[in-house]
Amino acid sequence: MNTISGISVKTDIYDKQTQKEKKLCQPEQNLQQNEEVTSLSGENWRAISGITENQLKKANRLVNKFALMGRLGIHDIANLKKIIKSGDEQAENVSKLLTLVNEKKVNPKTLKFICKDGIMSDGMEKDINMIFDAKNKGIDPNDAYIPHFNNTDEGLKSAQVGDLFEVEGQNRIYIKNKDGQPEQLKMDKQMMLKLFPPAERFANAQTYSADCYFVSTVNSMMDSPEARAHFLQCFEQDGNDIKITFPSNNFTYTAENAVMPKAYKGNFVTGSTGIKLVEYAYGKYLEDFATNKAITAQTNAIKKFEKQLEKTTSTQKQKSLNEQIKNYTIELDKLTEAVKSGSKDVIVELDHNREPVMHSGSGISLRSLNQMNMYRHTSYQTPGDYYRGDGGYMEDVFNDFGYKETEAYFMDDPDIQEILTNPELSKDYIFSGGTKREGRQNLFHAELVMDRSLSMYGAHAYRIAPSVNKDGETVFKVSNPWNSSHNAILTMAQLKEFFSEIHTAKIQ
């Protein structure tokens, strides 16, 4: 199994017994799902939108400013200036985004890896327009983001699916869920603003950790208005703290004061506090998962040897079994002591099915974190960093967040092609995809460059959302986790060209 930045490439990813694809390892008011893509010329857009030449000039000056500050690469500068020059809807979006970045409301990384012919993500565009509209009306953008109503009926009438609102007399806020019903979240307005402020909640950027599989899948959940409630229900306010629970096994991580641990110096996603916390919590979840799996496997192996020992009369076999029990017990004690003491240096080696690697002589395979850092040329601070950042499977992430109906397909599977291209089917799913291990070498990233203009890189994970363009053709909004606020628009032919597999979760 070869690993490149978050996606493991296996020669055979099908389970030979079930013929089911194994989980892939390792490493907007533009388009609502299945909404038409429309296009206006820059001149016509300026006529109806009110964007002025002065605003476009200001946008260009801000691009130059961030370039001089070293925040942008040459491709970023060229792409941003091309979009601004068009004077169209995307020029207005970028102009507003540049203003928010300049006001330090959004991280500058949202200006990187923007496709010159791409579009802003649905959620980001909607939030940005809401912020500027609120400012123009003299309204606090936070009150426009989470408006106040006398009752849930009023809130529902005003809200679209995925929108938030608060109700008189209720401490915890509501979201309009996929069924059009008011669903109460487990946090108040101030906590929501702290975790997921407007615009910034859609401005995620994967850093140096090889967890593109995780970030892209979280983006799929958060960016979908229909799936957003399920994702946000993983967060529960407890006074000033926030608890994050992964529904698959009810593991809970508590973030004191709803902030990242002060002593933590590892790499984590750029974006809202909520996204940073859930990424950190996922590492803790995987650490707990791996150690419990290993302890169970080792304990069961020892019990098996003990039963064999009771039955055998062979002196040689008894000696061999006693030696195995001794060795297995040494490793088990080492792991349980590490868990008990909170050691940050013991790693359990797992296979691509998330099962402990077992050796005949000692059972579970334990490694030190320093050893793994040297071997993989990484600098993980904690075991959780290693488990999360050593790659994973997108389908696993869906499962860990409690999705019951998940699947992984090869891109050439007719079933997934039917789901992706049929709006009546695709509307019920969220999607992540993994690209082929193809492309030219890249000096700045481990991923191979496939098509820089579309932000497409090899052996990398992406969020995918089907839509229908003005000609009635299915196209796909695809976002690179290096900048979740921006989409490339791909045809089905391009999707087949770049992607090797697609992972799905049925919205619930």
Residue 25 lies in a domain: yes
Q: How many CA atoms lie within 13 A of 481 on its CB side?
A: 36
- Residues of the domain holding 417: 2-33+397-506
DSSP H or E run through 142: helix 141-145
Say how many C-beta atoms besides its own lie within 10 A of residue 353's C-beta.
11
Determine how β-strand 363-364 pairs with β-strand 474-479: unpaired
State the residue for tokens 């098509």: 451
Residue 93 lies in a domain: no
Phi/psi of residue 261, each to 5°? -55, 130
Q: How far apart are CA 400 and CA 7, in angstroms?
A: 17
Residue 485 lies in a domain: yes
Query: What is residue 52's three-state secondary structure?
Result: coil
Residue 248 lies in a domain: no
Residue 29 lies in a domain: yes
Residue 22 lies in a domain: yes
The CATH number for 14's domain is 3.90.70.10
pLDDT at position 4 is: 38
- Report the chain's C-alpha Rg in angstroms: 25
Q: Which two tokens stand for residue 320?
A: 């061999």
Query: DSSP alpha helices (H): ranges in 247-368?
Result: 273-311, 315-341
The residues facing 120 across adjacent strands are: 486
Q: How far apart are CA 398 and CA 400, in angstroms?
A: 6
Say how many C-beta atoms besides its own lie within 10 A of residue 66's C-beta.
20
Sign of CA dihedral 370, 373, 379, 380: negative
Q: What is the pLDDT along the chain (508 residues), one digit of tens a residue?
A: 334 344 543 333 334 333 333 334 343 333 334 444 444 444 443 444 556 888 889 999 999 999 888 888 888 999 999 999 988 889 999 999 999 999 999 999 999 998 888 999 999 999 999 999 999 999 999 999 999 999 999 999 999 999 999 999 999 999 999 999 999 999 999 999 999 999 999 999 998 778 999 999 999 999 999 999 999 999 999 999 999 999 998 999 999 999 999 888 777 899 999 999 999 999 999 999 999 999 999 999 999 999 999 999 999 999 999 999 999 999 999 999 999 998 888 999 999 889 999 998 899 999 999 988 888 888 888 899 999 988 888 999 999 999 999 999 999 999 999 999 999 999 999 999 999 998 887 666 667 889 988 999 999 999 999 999 888 899 999 999 999 999 999 999 999 999 999 999 999 9
Residue 472 lies in a domain: yes
Q: How far apart are CA 21 and CA 413, in angstroms?
A: 11
* Short-list 29, 28, 1, CA closest to 13: 1
Residue 421 lies in a domain: yes
Tell me the one-letter amino acid at 226.
E
Q: How many domains does the chain have?
A: 1
Q: Which two tokens stand for residue 501?
A: 């597999």
